[in-house]
A and B are shown apart, each in its own frame.
Chain A
Amino acid sequence: MHELGSGDRFVALLFFAVLAVSPPLLSIFSAPELVLGIPVLYLYLFGAWAALIALLARISRRIERGERGPD
């Protein structure tokens, strides 16, 4: 993992992000039930979104700490 640059991480994250918000996955969660009192689809989308932002923050902090992009 140590050889991976921020570029590789971003690409991987983008892949998962696109997957997470893709219609097929959404349709799986598109159910009328409530989980924890919240609609499943709503819970899933905000959960996935939060996770996405957290990962983005992690990678971005690596950059802030000194790793440089293509220069």
Chain B
Amino acid sequence: MPATSLVIAVAFGYLCLLFAIAYWADKRSDAGRSVVSSPYVYALSIAVYCTAWTFYGSVGQAAIGGIDFLPIYIGPTLVAILWWHLTRKILRISKTDRITSIADFVASRYGKSQLLGGFITIAAVIVVTPYIALQLKGVSASFNLLLAAPAFHDGNFVQPSAFRDTALWVAVLMAVFSMLYGTRHIDATERHEGMVAAIAFESLVKLLAFLTVGVFVTFVVFGGVGDLFAQAAERPDIAPLFTTVGTRGYGGWVTLVLLSMAAVLFLPRQFQVIVVENVDERHLAKAAWLFPLYLFAINLFVLPIAIAGRLLFTPDAVEADAFMLAIPLAADAGVIAVVAFIGGLSAATGMVIVETIALSTMVCNELVMPILLRLAWLRLAERGDLTRLLIAIRRGSIVMLMSLGYLYFYFIGGSYALVSIGLLSFAAVAQFAPAIVGGIYWKGGTRSGALAGLAGGFLVWLYTLLLPSLARSGWLPIEFVDEGPWGIALLKPYALFGLAGLDNLSHALFWSMVANIGLYLGVSLVTRQSAIERIQATRFVEVFQHAQAGSRAQLWPGSASYHDLYELVARFIGKRRAEQSFAAYAASRNLALGKLSHADADLMHYTERLLAGAIGAASARVMVASVVKGKNVGIDEVLQILDEASQVIEYSRQLEQKSRELEAASSELRAANIRLREIDRLKDEFITTVTHELRTPLTSIRSFSEILFDNPGLSVERRREFLDIIIKESERLTRLINQVLDLARIEAGRFDWQMEAVDLPALAREAVLATSQLFKDREVALELDLPRELPPVHADRDQLMQVVINLLSNASKFSPRGTGRVTVRMIAVPGGVETRVSDNGPGIARENQAFVFEKFRQVSDAVSGKPQGSGLGLAICRRIVEHFGGRIWVESELGKGAVFAFFVPFAEAPAPAVATV
């Protein structure tokens, strides 16, 4: 039998080892050589899920309900399948926002609400206290069992009176550890490497201890698995364990799976190790199967041990929860019993340490600090070094939590089996699930919705589980459970609204989830999000879309000095760490730290995140706001703007939905846009061309003027020649300017038309006369073929003259010198007169005929190599003729001359024929 002193020495030695490991890991971490940055350590630390409840309670559960113990471990395996999606999302969000706890997470999601953070914290404390009590109970019970072994050997197991005192000592030791390694320093990342290393070690210890006991019981005490089960199958009181799915039936099975799925992620200590203590996101992938594998291994021998216990002991002689120790003791194997004890101790300490650290962070950041910061008379924001205060608050919280746990254990814990207490906590933690899961996948969840859901869920939980459990412990009249309050049967806590037939847990889960999810959805739908809620909702839901947190930077419209921010951070995390953090900031952005005088929005955001790591998001925001000068009140205005902006975004989304209708319209718009651009391009081209056309004669004029000016000694012939060029080019310039102006006026519809009845043949003769010199110069023959009489046409005489002269002049230019022949012919056609000017020039290719009447479209002349004229003449002709209601066209074939023809309608009341020349 293990002596009392030996047991105490082993237990103390084990705890010392734990301290040593934590110390060593912390030192390594400070030296920059982390030991916890490994997926294996990560997976082992997550196994803090397995507590004394697993170690002792599972066997107890299996001894009564068969595989009833399993769903608690199968649930986490199901969640592990979702890890890469669900947990990684939570992890990414938490890293981006430096989330410090589950309360911080929920508060951040719903607009950094201090109210929500505080609520979750209080709820977590209420929920976790019994759970801590459970660990104390496990350890002290096992301790006392070991010491009471002789008494047990007489066939009776008596709880010694030292029972409760042991628990006190255990609680004190655990509190010391938590205070030492959980609050060593206040950090922006809120990670505790020493603690993680110790926890991982403890997980290893409890697994090995369990397997050792399992192998011993199965293969040493009994003749192997087959022997054990064969013996059990013979016993009518044990055999049913092989077939029944627990004491709660299938409904209970499903309930337990669901509860454990929520618990493995949302218990404060689980959130701490999975999310807050995570070093590298990639570790998730390996932990996703290593952790279930761990659960698998630790559960392998639960049923064999339970059955062994049932076979060995008469019912009521030994509590089923104590089989782990009782069997080795009964088999006189003291060493194995001590191993079992150490395993149970490690399971309990691991849970208590992480849980109290996680909770102390929550209590400090979400409850105490916000209150202290609000107490204006404390002038906390102006105080010097706040690191000590923060550490003190956390240490105080740990003491408070351990005291609560101990008190719960002392007054209530004795009356309840381990499993029942644990499940009470699980059911409460499940209440976090809707707000969290909804919060990261549904942007619509509002702060009010989350508050209402959580409050509703907890109230129902309180009413249907906690109060009845208190009643059963004798703290409340039991009639309240049996007959309902004031005898109202409909309100019986175990059969609310007459819902009977379910086990207590399923019943509570059903009603609390009805209240929780119903209120969360319902209230979210009828309330509006504030701007910051909407921003946070988007950041959370779309965390993978927004790789980096830059969007919030714009929320700090004011300005602050770098010094103020530094002072602020230093107060909370210490000068040294503050210096390091800001130096890292400056280095990452290639800034000189000394030159940072004015903090930009980016630096303020960085500061906010640093602080968030130490005091939580909600308080951090308040603190940064306290040093931002100028427009910090204007945040509301900025939020207003963002609010409107998001409404616009919403509106545009609706528009997108109607895209099918809009598609037609938008393609029309596109076409119109293309047309407009084409017009714009043409206008541009027109201006460029006009500029060019104007500059060419100007160049000649300027050049020759300067030559004449610089060379007074030029010969008279030369001077004449140059002056002649200057005059000709000036005329060309004048003509061009007139044409451009005419064209512009016609196109703008501002041309002053003098419409009258015009005798076309007379006009043609005049035009011929005007251009006769041109024809003579170019040695081109000109023939007229005009009818004697023609009714007058309706036109502006001067403009029509310009058309005819233009056509004649063109014809003369393009006809070959010497052999050129140009004919002007007029024919009366129905409705008007057709005038045709034909030449025997080079002709115009068919593909070019359409262009000749456009502005600046000149067709190269094979003879001269250069088209002559401005390229505006025919364009103007077309506009003039079209204004008269006529049309102009060209008939030609390459090499066979060209005929330019136009048609002008008769004047409306045909005047009597006028004699022609």
Contact = CB atoms under 8 A, between A and B. Distances in A.
Q: Please indicate whether A and B come from the same complex rather than being unrelated chains.
A: yes
Q: Give the residue among B70, B77, B289 with the most A Cβ atoms within 10 A.
A: B289
Given A23-B250, A53-B292, A64-B285, A13 B233 contact: no
Nearest to A10: B81
A14 B547 contact: no
Interface stretch (B25-33, B82-90, B620-628): B82-90
A10 B85 contact: yes
Contacts of A61: 285
Given A21-B74, A53-B293, A69-B84, A31 B285 contact: no
Contacts of A31: 243
Given A26-B253, A27-B250, A50-B296, A38 B225 contact: yes
Contact of B296 (A23, A39, A40, A46): A46
Interface in A40-69: 40-42, 45-46, 49-50, 52-53, 56-57, 60-61, 63-64, 69
A3 interface: no
B74 A56 contact: no
Contact of A56 (B227, B242, B288): B288
B78 A14 contact: yes
Nearest to B290: A57
B254 A23 contact: yes
Given A37-B226, A45-B67, A46-B300, A60 B84 contact: yes
Contacts of A64: 282, 285-286
Interface string A10-34: 1001100110010100110011101
A13 to B, nearest CB: 5
B285 A56 contact: no
Contact of B77 (A27, A36, A53): A53
A41 B241 CA distance: 10
Given A60-B286, A60-B289, A30 B544 contact: no
Interface residues of B, number: 41
A40 B544 CA distance: 45
15 contacts: A6-B84, A10-B85, A14-B78, A14-B81, A23-B250, A23-B254, A30-B243, A32-B242, A39-B242, A41-B66, A45-B74, A46-B300, A52-B292, A53-B293, A69-B544
A3 to B, nearest CB: 18
Closest 7 CB pairs of A and B: A37-B226, A23-B250, A39-B242, A57-B289, A56-B289, A63-B285, A60-B285
A57 to B, nearest CB: 4
Contacts of A18: 78
A17 B77 CA distance: 9
B409 interface: no
Contact of B225 (A37, A60, A69): A37
B242 to A, nearest CB: 4
Q: Give the residue among B66, B71, B80, B82 with the most A Cβ atoms within 10 A.
A: B80
A53 B289 contact: yes
B337 interface: no
A41 B242 CA distance: 7
Contacts of A14: 78, 81-82
Interface SS, A side: helix
B303 interface: yes
Contacts of B227: 37
Given A17-B78, A37-B226, A52-B77, 10 more contacts: A14-B82, A21-B74, A23-B250, A26-B250, A30-B245, A57-B289, A57-B293, A60-B286, A60-B289, A63-B84
Contacts of B915: none
Contacts of A49: 74, 77, 292, 296
Contact of B80 (A39, A45, A56, A69): A56
B115 to A, nearest CB: 32
B81 A56 contact: yes
B181 to A, nearest CB: 30
Contacts of A6: 84
Contacts of B85: 7, 10, 69-70
A17 to B, nearest CB: 5
A9 to B, nearest CB: 9
B80 A42 contact: no
A12 to B, nearest CB: 10
Interface in B48-107: 66-67, 70-71, 74, 77-78, 80-82, 84-85, 88
B122 interface: no
Interface of B: 66-67, 70-71, 74, 77-78, 80-82, 84-85, 88, 224-227, 229-230, 233, 239, 242-245, 250, 253-254, 257, 282, 285-286, 288-289, 292-293, 296, 300, 303, 544, 547
Nearest to A57: B289
A63 to B, nearest CB: 4
Given A23-B245, A50-B296, A38 B81 contact: no
Contacts of B243: 30-32, 39, 41
Contacts of B225: 37-38
A17 B82 CA distance: 11
A69 B300 CA distance: 33
Contacts of B300: 46
Contacts of A27: 245, 250
Given A26-B245, A31-B243, A34-B233, A42 B82 contact: no
A15 to B, nearest CB: 10
A64 B66 CA distance: 37
A21 B289 contact: no
A42 B88 contact: no
B544 A71 contact: yes
Nearest to A42: B303
A40 to B, nearest CB: 8
A27 B250 CA distance: 9
A39 B239 CA distance: 9
Contacts of B293: 53, 57
Contact of B288 (A37, A46, A60): A60
B230 to A, nearest CB: 7
A1 B67 CA distance: 37
Q: Give the residue among A18, A30, A38, A39 with the most B Cβ atoms within 10 A.
A: A39
A27 B544 CA distance: 42
B630 to A, nearest CB: 38
Contacts of A10: 81-82, 84-85
A46 B81 CA distance: 17
Nearest to B252: A23
Nearest to B287: A60
A69 B547 contact: no
A21 B292 CA distance: 15
Nearest to B288: A60
B198 to A, nearest CB: 26
Contacts of B292: 49, 52-53, 56
B67 A41 contact: yes
A7 B858 CA distance: 66
Given A14-B81, A53-B293, A60-B288, A38 B229 contact: yes
Contacts of A30: 243-245
A6 B253 CA distance: 29
A21 B257 contact: yes
A14 B239 CA distance: 32
Contacts of B547: 71
A41 B82 CA distance: 26
A42 B293 CA distance: 17
B211 to A, nearest CB: 15
A30 B78 CA distance: 22
A63 B83 CA distance: 12
Contacts of B257: 21
Nearest to A54: B289
Given A60-B289, A69-B84, A23 B253 contact: yes
A27 B254 CA distance: 13
Contacts of A21: 71, 74, 78, 257
Contact of A53 (B250, B285, B296): B296
Contacts of A26: 245, 250, 253
Contacts of B303: 42
B229 A34 contact: yes
Nearest to A26: B245
